[in-house]
C-alpha cells in the first residue's frame, strides 16, 4: 500500500502543476484580452492604408508591467507590418475568423515564451479593410503564480503524506496482529497434533482458509489412522506365519538325514535366521504403531552399524557366490 502511495505522489504534483498553470493563465488572459481591446481603438484606416496612432496613454499601458515584457503587432490585410514587433509568429488559423473574435495561443518571441492574444479588425468606411492586431506578454507573472499555487499544495502534502504513511503503517500492524498470533499458534503445535485450529479469534478475512486447513487436518488424521491400523493388522498377521516358518526350519534341521548335503543344511539355517530377523522387524513395526497411536515418541537406542553391516553381508554372500561376485566386509 505504501509503494503505490509514494508513486502517486509525484504524479499528483505533476497534475497539480498542470492545473496550476491553467489557474494562473485565466486572470492574466483576461487582462491580456483587455489590453488588446484597448489597443484596437488606436487602429484606423486612411486612404486605404492601416494606421496605428499610439498615444502616450497607450504607451504607458504597454509599459505598466514591471515583471513581464509586452509586445504588439499590427498587420494590414496584405500582411505588411503597420506597427510593432516584426518577430511575431504568424497565427495558426487557416482562415480569417470573424472580425472582433479574440483568440489566445502560446508562442516564442526573442527566445522568450509568451502568451499571445490576437484578433482581426474590420476598419474603413465600408468596414472591408481587415487588420490583424496581436499583443503578447511573457510568462513571468504566470509562472510565479503557478509556483505559489504549487507551494501552497506541496507544503501540506509534505505534512500529510508522512502522517498518512504512519497511519497506514499503524493500521496494517493492528490489522495483521491476529494473523501473527495465528501463525505463532500454528508454529507452536506438535508435529503429531492434528486437532482443528481454534477459529474463534481468527480474522474474518482468513476464516475460510482456516476452515479449509481444519478440513484438511481431519482428512489427514483419518488417513493416518487407517495407515496405522493397517500396519498394526499386517504386523499381527505376519507374526504367526513367521513363527511357523522358523519352527519348521529348525525342525527340518534336526531331522535332516546324513545323506543330505551341506548346501541344504545351510539353506535351512539361513531360512531360520531370516525368519528371526523378520520377526524382530515385525515387532518393531508393532511398537511403532502403538507409540504413534498413543502419541508417544519411541525411545532412542544406540545401533551397532558394524554388526548390522556384517549381518547384511553374511546374508548376501550366497547370492554373491552364485553370481561370481567377490563380496567382503572390512572394519
Same domain, 7 and 138: yes
Same domain, 305 and 256: no
pLDDT for res 97: 63
Judged by phi (left if over 0) then psi (alpha if -120 to 50, else beta), residue 295 lies in left
Residue 270 belongs to some domain of the structure: yes
Domain boundary among 96, 113, 148: 148
Among candidate residues 37, 30, 25, the one with its CA nearest the CA of residue 133 = 37
pLDDT for res 90: 84
pLDDT for res 66: 72
DSSP string, 77-114: TTS-EEEE-TTPPPP--SS---TT--EEEEEEETTEEE
Dihedral pair phi/psi, residue 116, rounded to 5°: -115, 130
CATH number at residue 269: 1.10.287.130
C-alpha cell at 176: 495483521
Per the structure, the count of domains in the chain is 3
Q: Is the dihedral of CA 175, 180, 185, 190 positive or negative?
A: positive
Distance CA 330, CA 318 (A): 18
CATH number at residue 34: 3.30.450
Same domain, 216 and 264: yes
Same domain, 144 and 274: no
DSSP string, 247-312: HHHHHHHHT--TTS-HHHHHHHHHHHHHHHHHHHHHHHHHHHHHHHHHT-PPPP----HHHHHHHH
Cα 109 to chain centroid, rounded: 48
pLDDT for res 279: 82
Please answer whether residues 40 and 120 qualify as being in contact, where contact means their C-beta atoms are separated by less than 8 angstroms.
no
Residue 25 belongs to some domain of the structure: yes
Q: How many CB atoms within 10 Å of residue 204?
A: 7
Kindly provide the b/e burial profile for residues 129-139, where b requires at least 16 CB atoms within 10 angstroms of the residue's own CB. bbbbbbbbbbb
Same domain, 254 and 306: no
pLDDT in tens, the chain (331 residues): 677 777 877 788 788 888 888 888 888 888 888 888 888 888 887 776 778 777 776 666 666 667 788 888 888 877 888 888 888 888 887 566 677 788 888 899 888 889 999 988 887 777 777 888 899 988 888 888 888 888 887 778 778 878 888 888 888 888 888 888 888 888 888 877 888 888 777 778 888 888 898 899 889 888 888 877 877 777 777 777 877 877 887 787 777 776 666 777 777 778 878 888 888 887 777 777 666 665 555 577 888 888 888 888 888 888 888 888 888 888 7
Residue 198 belongs to some domain of the structure: no
Q: Is the dihedral of CA 97, 102, 105, 110 positive or negative?
A: positive
List the domain range (segments joined by +) for residue 226: 209-298
Residue 80 belongs to some domain of the structure: yes
Amino acid at each position: 500500500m505504501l509503494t503505490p502511495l509514494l508513486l502517486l505522489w509525484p504524479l499528483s504534483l505533476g497534475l497539480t502543476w498542470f492545473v496550476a498553470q491553467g489557474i494562473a493563465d485565466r486572470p492574466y488572459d483576461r487582462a491580456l484580452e483587455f489590453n488588446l481591446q484597448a489597443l484596437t481603438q488606436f487602429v484606423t484606416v486612411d486612404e486605404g492604408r492601416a494606421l496605428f496612432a499610439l498615444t502616450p496613454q497607450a504607451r504607458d499601458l504597454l509599459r505598466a508591467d514591471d515583471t513581464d515584457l509586452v509586445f504588439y503587432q499590427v498587420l494590414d490585410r496584405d500582411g505588411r507590418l503597420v506597427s510593432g514587433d516584426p518577430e511575431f509568429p504568424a497565427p495558426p488559423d487557416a482562415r480569417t475568423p470573424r472580425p472582433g473574435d479574440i483568440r489566445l495561443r502560446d508562442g516564442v518571441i526573442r527566445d522568450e515564451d509568451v502568451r499571445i492574444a490576437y484578433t482581426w479588425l474590420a476598419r474603413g468606411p465600408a468596414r472591408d479593410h481587415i487588420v490583424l492586431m496581436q499583443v503578447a506578454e511573457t510568462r513571468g507573472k504566470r509562472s510565479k503564480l503557478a509556483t505559489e499555487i504549487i507551494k501552497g499544495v506541496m507544503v501540506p502534502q509534505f505534512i500529510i503524506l508522512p502522517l498518512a504513511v504512519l497511519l497506514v503503517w499503524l493500521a496494517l500492524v493492528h490489522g495483521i496482529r491476529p494473523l501473527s498470533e495465528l501463525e505463532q499458534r500454528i508454529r507452536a503445535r506438535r508435529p503429531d497434533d492434528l486437532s482443528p485450529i481454534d477459529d474463534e479469534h481468527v480474522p474474518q478475512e482468513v476464516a475460510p482458509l482456516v476452515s479449509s486447513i481444519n478440513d484438511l487436518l481431519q482428512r489427514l488424521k483419518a488417513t493416518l489412522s487407517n495407515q496405522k491400523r493397517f500396519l498394526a493388522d499386517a504386523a499381527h498377521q505376519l507374526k504367526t506365519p513367521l513363527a511357523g516358518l522358523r519352527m519348521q526350519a529348525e525342525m527340518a534341521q534336526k531331522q535332516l538325514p546324513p545323506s543330505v548335503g551341506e548346501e541344504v543344511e545351510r539353506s535351512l539355517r539361513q531360512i531360520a535366521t531370516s525368519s528371526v530377523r523378520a520377526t524382530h522387524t515385525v515387532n518393531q513395526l508393532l511398537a511403532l504403531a502403538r507409540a504413534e497411536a498413543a502419541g508417544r515418541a519411541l525411545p532412542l537406542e544406540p545401533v551397532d552399524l558394524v554388526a548390522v553391516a556384517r549381518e547384511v553381508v553374511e546374508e548376501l554372500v550366497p547370492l554373491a557366490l552364485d553370481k561370481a561376485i567377490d563380496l567382503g566386509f572390512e572394519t
